[in-house]
Amino acid sequence: MKQCFTVVMLVAMLLGSIGAASAREPHQVRAPSIAGVFDYYVLALSWSPTFCLTHQNDTQCSGKGYGFVLHGLWPQYAKGGWPKSCSPKVALTAAEREKGLTLFPTRKLLEHEWSKHGTCSGLGAMGYLEASDKAIGTVKIPAQLQPLSSSTYLEAEEIARLFRQSNPDIDSNGIAVICSGPQLSEVRVCMSKDLAFTECGKGVKTQCRAGEIRVPPVR
């Protein structure tokens, strides 16, 4: 009987400790993505020549001479992460597609960005495209980073500094430079929901190696 009582007590203590741990550490469930529910935008500007090094058959890589192109305008959470593919998922109309193709380099990219990111803006397709247009118009590309005829080499911080010189209102923590291996891939500029420059939230930061990186010439 004494042994049975001891076993019962041990089981009770174990169950109690499990219950206490569950109370202390509730299961984390990510909230569903809801259109319009986010904190700020990231305007992602892709350096097309780097993209074309590995996507030579893409439409934008057919000798059009692109430098920076619109990758997307991405709703973000200040604490990190982002909503994606929000309902309702509505296809672009012909008029919206026509507008989008004045902003994005390819139809494929336009469709992808609207489906994954634009639907979460809460603006509707045309509103999202107009916001993207305004965001692009707000950011001035530095003269040193206009389409290049030969490779140049700059440190990531120098690229960020050139953008801040051309756009004095960009916060010191409001821009991130992204690399693909040793090459410049993107510049990401953080903007408020009304498309003013703002600080970036958690997780948006420069991702490049130390030292100089290559900025490939146009194709």
Answer yes or no: 212 catalytic.
Answer: no
Catalytic hit among 25, 27, 55, 71: 71
Q: What is the mean pLDDT of residues 144-159?
A: 95
For the segment 187-201, what is each residue's pLDDT rounded down to a tens digit? 999 999 999 999 999
Global confidence as pTM: 0.85
Could you say which of 55, 98, 111, 117 is catalytic? 117
pLDDT at 115: 97
116 CB-near residues (< 8 Å, 6+ apart): 84, 85
Average pLDDT on 2-9 reads 44
* Residue 174 buriedness (CB in 10 A; 0-12 / 13-18 / 19+): buried
Cβ partners under 8 Å of residue 149, min gap 6: 217, 218
Q: Is the pLDDT of residue 5 over 60?
A: no
27 tagged catalytic: no
Per-residue pLDDT tens for 106-127?
Answer: 999 999 999 999 999 999 999 9
Per-residue pLDDT tens digits for 43-95? 999 999 999 999 989 999 988 899 999 999 999 999 999 999 999 989 999 99
Does 158 qualify as catalytic in the annotation?
A: no
The reported pLDDT for the residue numbered 13 is 46
The answer to whether the beta carbons of residues 75 and 120 sit under 8 Å apart is yes
Indicate if the pLDDT at residue 15 is higher than 50: no
pLDDT band at 25 (very low <50, low <70, confident <90, very high): very low
**Ranges of each domain in the chain:** 40-215
pLDDT-derived band at 29 (thresholds 50, 70, 90) equals very low
Instruction: Please choose, from the candidates 76, 75, 71, 113, the residue with its C-alpha nearest in 3D space to the C-alpha of residue 92.
Output: 113
Give the residue, 37 or 7, on which the prediction is more confident: 37
Q: Which residues pair with 169 in a beta bridge?
A: none
Catalytic residue selected from 98, 113, 155, 158: 113
pLDDT value at residue 30: 59
**Backbone phi, psi, residue 175, to 5°:** -150, 145
CATH number corresponding to 40-215: 3.90.730.10
What's the one-letter identity of residue 73? L
